[in-house]
Amino acid sequence: EDRARWLIVGLGNPGSKFALTRHNVGFDVVDRLAKAEGLVWGGFGENTDLVRLQKKANAKLALGVVVGTNVVLVKPQTFMNLSGESVKKLMKHWRVPKERVLIIYDDLDTPTCVMKLKGKGGHGGHNGVRNIIDECPGCADKTFPRLKIGVGRPKRGTEVYDHVLTKFHANDRLTLESCTFNDSCDVIRGVLSNGLDKTMTAVNNKAGTGGGDTGKAPKAKAPDNNNAWQLKKTIKPKIDPAVATLVRNAVANVIAGDATTTINGL
């Protein structure tokens, strides 16, 4: 067992056809981390062992050190539904336990651009995670670290398949590129340096997700006094019955042509 190394696995589909789609945010995050940490994808030059391993595992790999920890960044090239086959081979090659395999992927049940860090849970309908649970050593009990990037639910009438295989709206993409991906890299660094539990609590509380597996609920928001006018608009004013009678009589007199009586009566 390699007691220091982590596998940081971003899930996605290979090929330009799937680039920048919702289903490929896992690839996007590990690409951002590789760039930020100066790690290079693929085995080049004299590193023939890495070239062979990439071919054997059917994955793109980037090796290096992040916050003092040996890491392997992984982008399985098996297509999403067979991601576990690639991860399994890498876990066995480096003898890395499931506790140090962080899976990064898109999540329908998390709001777009929001992150959730978890230490356990089901696949939630995600076929890549389903295959990891089925194939990878020890993962059948569904306890392994995962960082979910929210892509939201599809609009009514849109199939899930079409939703995840299309690109984000422009504003969402801007938020991902300028905030979410950078924050995700910081989360990964936090897991490596501070551990999963401590980082999970901090991340999920900040995101307002209830503290992940800790069961903490987000604090209720204080009433917004700026919206008090909205309440006033919904309240019908009470009218004094005597005034109502005078008004009705005045209207009747106006109709009858007796304007003077009307004015004096009011």
Question: Would you name the residues annotated as active-site residues?
Answer: 23
d(CA 200, CA 10): 18
How far is CA 22 from its chain centroid?
Answer: 10
d(CA 121, CA 115): 15
SS3 call for 145: coil
User: Phi and psi at residue 74, in whole multiples of 5°?
Assistant: -130, 130
Which one-letter DSSP state was computed for residue 51? H
Cβ–Cβ < 8 Å for 10, 75: yes
Q: How many CB atoms lie within 10 A of CB 170?
A: 8
Residue 63 makes CB contacts below 8 A (sequence gap 6+) with 39, 50, 70, 71, 72, 73
At 6, the amino acid letter reads W
Residue 128: CB atoms within 10 A of its CB come to 26
CB 55 within 8 A of CB 62: no
